[in-house]
Amino acid sequence: MQEPYLIELQKIGEEEIGYISVAQAASNVPFDIKRVYWIYQTPETVERGNHAHKNTLQLLICVRGKIKITLENRHRKIVEFVLDDPNQGLFIPNYYWRKLNFFDEAICLCLSSSDYSEEDYIREYQEFLS
């Protein structure tokens, strides 16, 4: 079973002109990217996620603001990450139950190893544990 981990992305530029960060399947993303989507304007009172994926691998990047991501595996081991740096990505393997909380008008960029399919989601917590 793979573990989630943070990936330092390339950061090009300087304070005077700003920066470019790069996520590239060939170098720092541990899967082939099939789909990119982004989540924004989520109120701080809302908790997103509450599901796991059967096969999908993901890299989540907080391109603005701050996002707290809580991950749980099927042995009920919980790890928490705070993303607030656009040159950092969080790799999430399959079979991790996730909860996401957005702060400071956060925008979450999600790179995914699969096309969207509702079949790939486990949205019932008890089903996830079994």
Q: Does 122 engage in binding with ligand T46 (CB under 6 A)?
A: no
Rounded distance between C-alpha atoms, residue 38 and residue 19, angstroms: 20
**At closest approach, how far in Å is the CB of 130 from ligand T46?**
20
Catalytic residue status for 75: no
In 3D space, the residue among 67, 50, 53 whose CA is nearest the CA of residue 103 turns out to be 67
In 3D space, the residue among 7, 121, 4 whose CA is nearest the CA of residue 62 turns out to be 7
Interface residue with ligand T46 among 19, 40, 116, 125 (CB under 6 A) is 116
Report the site for ligand T46 in 12-71 (rule: CB under 6 A): 37, 39, 48-49, 58, 60
Residue 51's alpha-carbon distances to 15, 56, 72, in angstroms, are 38, 12, 10
Q: Which SS3 state, helix, strand or coil, does residue 34 take?
A: coil
Which of 11, 34, 48, 51 is catalytic? The answer is 51
Report the site for ligand T46 in 83-102 (rule: CB under 6 A): 98, 100
- Annotated catalytic residues are 51
Residues that bind ligand T46 (CB under 6 A): 37, 39, 48-49, 58, 60, 98, 100, 110, 116
